[in-house]
Amino acid sequence: MSKIVVQDLHKSFGDNEVLKGIDLRVGEGEVVAVIGPSGSGKSTLLRCLNKLEEPTSGHVIVDGVDLTDKSVKLDEVRQRIGMVFQHFNLFPHMTVVENIALAPVELGRMTRAQARERALALLRRVGLEEKADARPASLSGGQKQRVAIARALAMDPEVMLFDEATSALDPEMVGEVLQVIRDLAAGGMTMVLVTHEMGFAREVSNRTVFMDGGVVVEEAAPADLFGAPKNERLRDFLSKVL
Ligand code: ADP
Ligand code: MG
């Protein structure tokens, strides 16, 4: 069963066609890594998966629901698909636990007390229970990103999207965030990860997708994609980043 089906997805900004017909399937519990040069459309693709962008044409079907259908409500989509960004986007005036508990309370999914309980459990899961009442400004980059992941998990999403979640981090903090993602993968979470961490993509993904110029150029099991790249553009890209 495919959790996500992307069919002939096109996205233009003005006359700049950024996605030029993407087809992609992500199975339940599958981890798909998306790699490719800057400007190839990776972020735009992810943003189309949770309706942060409206596709120009084509379909994005999550659990049988076509997100391009105008009757689909944004709130429903965002509850089912969590997203973590390069810049953590935490609310600075709220404590860590308030950041995590906010959405479930605002969307009427939980009482404040339930949401706090759940937030504390998620903080335990990402190893930050002792930071519950801290403000984001007092956290390191790696800690902020782990809070952002906990916040995304608070809605019990069926799918998690990560857009370069470690790109803004100092090198010594990358590992702690990758470990949280690794744990989610082991727990069976369906995930799409845009990453420039090639070693991590290779290790954690079931399938790796190489995008260039708004199309999927090659996709394969990571051992094959990294070990025996077929396309010239992929070989060229790997020669620069590995
Ligand atoms: P990547 O994540 O692979 O670096 P992006 O999806 O961010 O690529 O961007 C692909 C192209 O789309 C770039 O040329 C970028 O300038 C353009 N683009 C992305 N978002 C917007 C936007 N909101 N408005 C106009 N152009 C955009
Ligand atoms: Mg990007």
Q: Whose CA is nearest to atom 14 of ligand 1?
A: 39
For 79-90, how does the pLDDT look when each residue is reduced to its tens digit (9 = 90+)?
Answer: 899 999 999 899
Nearest CA to ligand 1 atom 23: 13
Mean pLDDT score, 176-188: 96
Q: Rounded to the nearest whole angstrom, what is the distance from the C-alpha of residue 41 to the centroid of ligand 2? A: 7
In this predicted structure, the answer to whether residue 75 has a pLDDT above a threshold of 90 is: no
Instruction: Give pLDDT, residue 229.
Output: 98
Residue type, 19: L
User: Do residues 19 and 44 lie in contact, with contact meaning Cβ atoms separated by under 8 Å?
Assistant: yes
| Residue-wise burial string across 127-144, b where 16 or more C-beta atoms lie within 10 A, e elsewhere | ebeebbeebbeebebbbb
The whole-number pLDDT of residue 77 equals 86
Pocket-testing residue among 13, 85, 164, 210, ligand 1, by greatest number of atoms within 8 A of Cβ: 13
Q: Are strands 31-35 and 190-194 parallel, antiparallel or unpaired?
A: parallel
Q: Residue 73 has what DSSP assignment?
A: -
State the Cα–Cα distance between residues 205 and 239, nearest whole angstrom.
Answer: 20
- 114, pLDDT greater than 90: yes
Q: How far apart are CA 151 and CA 144, in angstroms?
A: 10
Measured in Å, residue 162 CA sits from the centre of ligand 2 at 10
Instruction: Spell out the alpha helix ranges (H) of 72-155.
Output: 74-80, 96-106, 112-125, 141-153
More confident residue, 112 or 1: 112
pTM: 0.96
Q: What is the pLDDT of residue 74?
A: 84
Smallest CA separation from ligand 1 atom 1, residue:
39
Structure token digits, residue 134: 């801290």
Name the closest-CA residue to atom 6, ligand 1: 41
Kindly report the number of other CB atoms within 10 A of residue 14's CB atom: 5
Beta carbon of 42 within 6 Å of any ligand 1 atom? yes
| DSSP secondary structure letter of residue 166 | T
Low-confidence winner among 63-72, 155-164, 214-223 (lowest mean pLDDT)? 63-72
Q: What is the pLDDT of residues 120-161, one digit of tens each?
A: 999 999 999 999 999 999 999 999 999 999 999 999 999 999
Task: Tell me what the pLDDT averaged over the chain comes to.
Answer: 96
